[in-house]
Amino acid sequence: MRTGPITQDTTTVALGLAEIRIGNSAAYIGQRRAILPATASIGALANTKFIGNAEFFKLESGFPLVEDTSFPLRESAALECAFKEITPANVALSRGLDPDNYANAHSGEIYLGTITTPSFIRMEAIYTYPDGTNTMKVIFPRAQVTSTTEIDFATEDVATVPVVITSKSADDGVSGGNKIWNGCPLGMIIWDDGTGTTTTTSSTTTTTT
C-alpha cells in the first residue's frame, strides 16, 4: 500500500507555462474577469512565475520572548516571466512603455536614455491545466513593469528577456482605479472549471459570472 503524499486529484496538478496577455489598464479597469483577447499575448515564454509577497510584524512577550501573534505590514503581487519573441512591443514592455504603441513585429524605434514613469497596464496570466479544460487566471488590473531590460544573445539558444510585472493598487482610492477592485486592490486569482461560470466570494462581495 502506498504511503506519503499521494495525488488526490490529477486534474489539479500544474505542468507547463501560463500565457501572458497585456492590455491598457484604463481601457479595461471596469472589467473584473479575464477579458484580453488572445492577440494581446506576448507570445512564447521561457518561464512564468507568480509571486505573492507578504511581510508581518511579530508580537513577542515574556522572558524568554515567545511569539504571541503576527500582524500584516504590507503585501505585494508580481509576475515574473521571460519572453522569447524579441519584438518592439515586447522590448517596449520591458522598459515600462505601452506596448500598444508598437504594432509591427519588425518595425519600430525605442529611444534609450529616456526612461520615465512606467505606463499602467493590465496583465492577465492564463494558465490551462494539462486536461485542457480547467484554467487558473491571475489578473492585475493596474500594473507596472519595473525591471532591467536584458537581451542575452547566445550561439545555440534563443534569447530571452526577463520581465517583472508588479501589481499596483486598483481600487477607487487612487486615480485610474475602480470601485470593483475595492475588495481586492491588487487583483485576483480565478479558477474556472471550463463551464463558463465562476463564483467569487469575499468579505465584501459575492459575484457569479
Residue 203 forms part of a structural domain: yes
- What was the pLDDT predicted at 196? 67
Q: What is the mean pLDDT of residues 86-107?
A: 96
Residue 148 forms part of a structural domain: yes
**How far apart (Å, rounded) are the C-alpha atoms in residues 17 and 95?**
23
User: CA triplet 28, 32, 37: central angle to 5 degrees?
Assistant: 55
pTM over 0.75: yes
How is residue 41 annotated by DSSP?
Answer: B
Residue 64 forms part of a structural domain: no
CATH number of the domain encompassing residue 93:
2.30.110
Largest CA distance in the chain: 68
- What was the pLDDT predicted at 200? 53
- What was the pLDDT predicted at 194? 83
Q: Quickly list DSSP for 176-206.
A: T--GGGTT-TT-EEEEE-SSS--EEE-SS-E
Residue 168 forms part of a structural domain: yes
Residue 63 forms part of a structural domain: no
Question: In angstroms, what is the C-alpha Rg of the chain?
Answer: 20
How is residue 119 annotated by DSSP?
Answer: P
- What was the pLDDT predicted at 197? 60
Residue 2 forms part of a structural domain: no
Report the DSSP beta bridge partners of residue 208.
199
Pull the grid cell for residue 75.
503585501
Decide if 149 contacts 73 (C-beta within 8 A): no
pLDDT band at 202 (very low <50, low <70, confident <90, very high): very low
The label of the residue with cell 522598459 reads: 95
**How far apart (Å, rounded) are the C-alpha atoms in residues 69 and 56?**
10
Please write the tens of the pLDDT for every residue from 61-90: 999 999 999 999 999 999 999 999 999 999
Please tell me whether the peptide bond between 64 and the residue prior to it is cis, using omega within 30 degrees of 0.
yes
Decide if 58 contacts 83 (C-beta within 8 A): no
Pull the grid cell for residue 122.
493590465
The domain of 201 spans 10-56+70-208
Statement: residue 203 has pLDDT above 80: no
Residue 5 forms part of a structural domain: no
Pull the grid cell for residue 158.
534563443
The tally of domains found in the chain comes to 1
Residue 42 forms part of a structural domain: yes
Statement: residue 207 has pLDDT above 60: no
